[in-house]
Amino acid sequence: MRADRLVAVLLLMQARGRVTAAELAGELEVSVATARRDLEALSTAGVPVYPQPGRGGGWSLVGGARTDLSGLTEAEAQALFLLAGTATAPQLRSALRKLVRALPGPFCGGARAAAEAAVVDPVWWGERGHERPELVEALQEAVVGHRKVWLSYANRSGERTRRLVDPWGLVDKDAVWYLVAGTGDGQRTFRVDRILEAVPTEQTAERPADFDLAAAWERVVAEVEQRRSPVAATVLTEDRYLPVLRDQFGRHCRAERGGSGQGCADGRLRVRVAAPTALDIARQLAGWGALVDVVEPDEVRAELARLGTELTARYAG
């Protein structure tokens, strides 16, 4: 994901002092154009990264190669960590912690708050975002600055409300942004592209001491997914087909190896998949033929049999 790459780019530039877009592309296994965009994103955000044109040129950190980030200003440090967000991989979380420790003492609090201001969830919910909403930056600043915000919001049905909230964090879900906030009614989630207006105040926002944005978002997702896909089925398949099932069912696919269930003795995986209806599951599995065995429930097996009968009647001749 892009936030992970931005941290990796900065670490490489620290170690080497100067790099080219082509060198970064080779190290990070991305295109040269993507590497160049990442470098430009760091520069635009205020991180002291600048290009040197001509033969022997490249991109450098102001001040040359260093073993720490003490050359960053407080605003630059916060800009970097707002871009990076909370990395999902353990190695990248470790890298962020090291970067925070390398900052001058007065900057650590702001950088840590910026790093925890947003998380990235790459799994889409049936629609993907396009342009980043303009309000994201202002909301990020409110999160980092611990400032209450007046929100004017239109829900899915178009009903408008205005309320004072404590902004706790932002989530980028495949370019669709959400604000997780505290309200008089408890924790609430607001879709950013439905926020009509966000006005920061001088009032200090309250946030639970043990609040963890990534964990809070996982709970939100679990609740939504439970409502969206109440019907589950158990299927048996080979290991090599699991990635394809995960592409089809996303979060609604969970593999369980071993156990006493039917078919587990032959080495196949026992996989749990879910969807809004039994027919939805059957439609997604029908094309697999004998590559999967549906163990339960009977409703999904019946739908598969019905689809098979329809296909046979239409195409057998």
C-alpha–C-alpha distance, residues 311 and 315, integer Å: 6
What local confidence, expressed as pLDDT, does residue 6 receive? 72
Please determine, for residue 115, whether its predicted confidence score (pLDDT) is greater than 60.
no
The share of the chain scoring above pLDDT 90, in percent, equals: 29
Q: At how many degrees (to 10) do helices 2-16 and 90-102 cross? A: 50
Residue type, 48: P
The number of angstroms, rounded, from the C-alpha of 240 to the middle of its chain's C-alpha atoms is 25
74-86 pLDDT, tens per residue?
555 555 555 554 4
Task: Give pLDDT, residue 117.
Answer: 66
**What are the start-end ranges of the H helices in 116-167?**
135-145
* CATH class for the region spanning 135-211: mainly beta
Look up tokens 């990248």; give the residue: 92
- The residue-averaged pLDDT of 70-76 equals 51
Q: Which amino acid is at 314?
A: R
The pLDDT, as a whole number, for residue 2 is: 57
Instruction: Give, in order, the Cα–Cα distances in Å from 74 to each of 69, 78, 103, 105, 123.
Output: 11, 6, 9, 10, 33
Q: What pLDDT is recorded for position 151?
A: 95
Looking at the domain that runs over 2-116, which CATH code has it been given?
1.10.10
Tokens 């043990």 locate to 210
Q: How far apart are CA 264 and CA 4, in angstroms?
A: 37
Provide the pLDDT for residue 114.
54
CATH of 229-315, one of 3.40.50, 1.10.3470, 3.30.70, 2.60.40: 3.30.70
Tokens describing residue 81: 């960590």
pLDDT band at 181 (very low <50, low <70, confident <90, very high): very high
Q: Residue 128: what pLDDT?
A: 59
* DSSP assignment of 270-309: EEEEEESSHHHHHHHHHTTGGG-EEEE-HHHHHHHHHHHH
> At residue 88, does pLDDT exceed 70?
no
Question: From CA 101, how far away is CA 95, in angstroms rounded?
Answer: 10
Per-domain boundaries in the chain: 2-116, 135-211, 229-315
What DSSP line would sit under 86-108, residue for residue?
Answer: B-SSHHHHHHHHHHHHHS-HHHH
pLDDT digits (tens, 9 = 90+) for 265-302: 677 899 999 988 999 999 999 999 999 999 999 999 99
pLDDT in tens, 138-172: 898 888 888 999 999 998 888 999 999 999 988 88
Read off the pTM.
Answer: 0.53
